[in-house]
Structure 1
């Protein structure tokens, strides 16, 4: 494995994890079950959200570096997907979400597009990456990559349902946090598991 890729994966995922744990225990008055993670970015504790987003971008770069060393078209696709994820996470702090009671703004719509790009690309990357990792001779790591992709996909489905069905609005935040849990765990696993 590329040592720089491993360092970036572990550093970025670790920074994201620590930042999110800290902001979740601070007195933000937000509900982890209901409120989106991005809402921390419009509180006085926004620095922790920016740190989490920056950490995810760093991990995305590490993942892109890792897959760029694996031969084959599926690894190239995974590298591009992780590049999209890294750019979206790096930019999202510059485009905060709209407050829940505020009118929709161009900045808020850009935030939503960046969030969609990040979540869709990293979820897809876990699935395509599983194929690339399997072809590289690491079937167990490939299985874990698929598992983390499924966790992210379940979170995505949960977010869509929670946004569309009023009775489920109260679990939107929980569904989104499944996506975060999936990609943080995936990046940590990639960083800790050497390829053959």
Structure 2
């Protein structure tokens, strides 16, 4: 019992003394089971996430405002002509663009481009640094949850024009973690995996 309490206290001190880490929504696009299909999955979405599909002429073929925390969509591409298409995922923190081509009865994923809209988070190995300018001095909520959605760390900072914290996951329990930082209407995420 003493060892369990000691381990819990050490883990809590690690998160309190070194605070900073970010989770970005994780996305994946894979070929579906049918010849001309794709399956898109996204975990830990932010409010205001938009998923869209467009062709090379910038015609929007699909558009969805994502409200679920975890999102999945299967695309049947049988009715599309041969050519280049783009699946775009945008939120306040980043933009992800998958480029794929349709040729005859096959779909080929060419590339994935990620553009971060902010440099709030910076990673250094298993350490995540948070640097946030809070010019309006609003309350900033920082939370870390594990893969079972259990809250590992929570803190609310008020009236601080600049927030700089470091979260150290070097000795954390194995698993996946999500750091969320809510600054007014903006929410920033960072994923952390501990092996």
Q: TM-score, normalised by structure 1?
A: 0.26
Larger Rg: 2
Q: TM-score, normalised by structure 2?
A: 0.26
Q: Which has the higher contact order (CA 8 A, sep 6+)?
A: 1
1 or 2, which has the higher strand percentage?
2
